[in-house]
Amino acid sequence: MSDKLYLYPLWVRVWHAINGLLCFVLIYTGYCMQYAGGESIIMLEFEKAISLHNICGILLLINYLFFLIFNLKTGNKRHYKVKLKGGLKNMYLQISYYNKGFLKGEEAPFQTTTRQKFNPLQKFTYVSVMYILMPLLLVSGISLFFPITLMEKLPGVSSLHLTSLIHRVSSFSLTAFLIIHIYSSTLGHSPSMHFKSIITGWSKH
């Protein structure tokens, strides 16, 4: 018996769409900035890449604040509460399911409900991304936007270098997450199930 569950309110879907689009543009422009000087036709000019990266960075910050506020004010915040007890074991179960159980057509170890729309692996990943990775990325990005305000040096280290390193590592991590996130969205009853549900808000389970 399949249930139709309303998992994604409008604000979540709008935020998610904007976030995804901005992340794509930021990754592309970040790549163009980092690997400038080549003759490739797919690469933007350095100056244009910088301008676009700056604009999208600010929009991403606004979008993130929008997420934080709405997450706090609505019931959506409960989906981001991580239970540490048994967390590792549950994540392992989910990974095993993706690796083997899903391929055998077995039942998922953690069922999706309106109260628990994320499985333990998703919850851990999304909490890490939204509450650790994104703040690191945004704070380092904004700092690089105003480089003069950065301290010349932290003890023994150039602060500009360190901020840039944090920004590059967190943006790379986000890129890796994005690739895995897009693929794992195909791991539903049908490959398009999760894509339809993030557009319509409804999910069949």
Partner 1 sequence: MNLNLKYLVLLIAFFLSLKVEMGYTQVKEKEFLETLTSNLRCLNCHGQVNYSFYNEWIEKKVVKSMNPTHVVDPELYYNSHHGTFKCLDCHSPDYSEFPHDKELRMEPISNCLDCHEGDESTKCYNFELLKEEHEKSVHVQKFSESFDCRMCHNVHNYHTQARKGANVKQIIAFNNRICLDCHNDQTNFSKWSQSDNFRIADKHEWLPNRELHFKSVRCIECHAENKKGLLIGHNIRPKEEAVRRCEQCHSESTMMKSKLYKNVFDFNRTQLSEVPIALESIYVIGAPRNPYMKWGSISLLLLILLAITSHIVKRIIKRK
Q: Provide the binding-site residues for partner 1, judged by CB under 8 A.
A: 33-38, 45-47, 50, 98-99, 103-105, 147-148, 152-153, 156-158, 160-162, 164-165, 168, 172, 175-176, 179-180, 183
Q: What is the closest distance, in whole angstroms, from the C-beta atom of residue 65 to partner 1 in the complex?
A: 25
DSSP state of 101: I
Question: With contact defined as beta carbons under 8 Å apart, do 122 and 91 qualify?
Answer: no
Q: What is the closest distance, in whole angstroms, from the C-beta atom of residue 11 to partner 1 in the complex?
A: 30
Question: Maximum CA pair distance of the chain?
Answer: 63
Written as six digits, the tokens of 20 are: 């995804």
Residue closer to partner 1 (CB basis): 6 or 172:
172
Single out the residue of 90, 84, 80, 87 nearest to residue 117, CA to CA: 80
Residue closer to partner 1 (CB basis): 128 or 164:
164
Residue closer to partner 1 (CB basis): 132 or 179:
179
Q: What is the closest distance, in whole angstroms, from the C-beta atom of residue 20 to partner 1 in the complex?
A: 18
Residue closer to partner 1 (CB basis): 33 or 93:
33
Question: With contact defined as beta carbons under 8 Å apart, do 29 and 44 qualify?
Answer: yes
Q: What is the closest distance, in whole angstroms, from the C-beta atom of residue 9 to partner 1 in the complex?
A: 30
Question: With contact defined as beta carbons under 8 Å apart, do 33 and 44 qualify?
Answer: no
Pairing of strands 153-154, 202-204: unpaired
Residue closer to partner 1 (CB basis): 10 or 103:
103
Question: With contact defined as beta carbons under 8 Å apart, do 189 and 45 qualify?
Answer: no
Q: What is the closest distance, in whole angstroms, from the C-beta atom of residue 99 to partner 1 in the complex?
A: 8
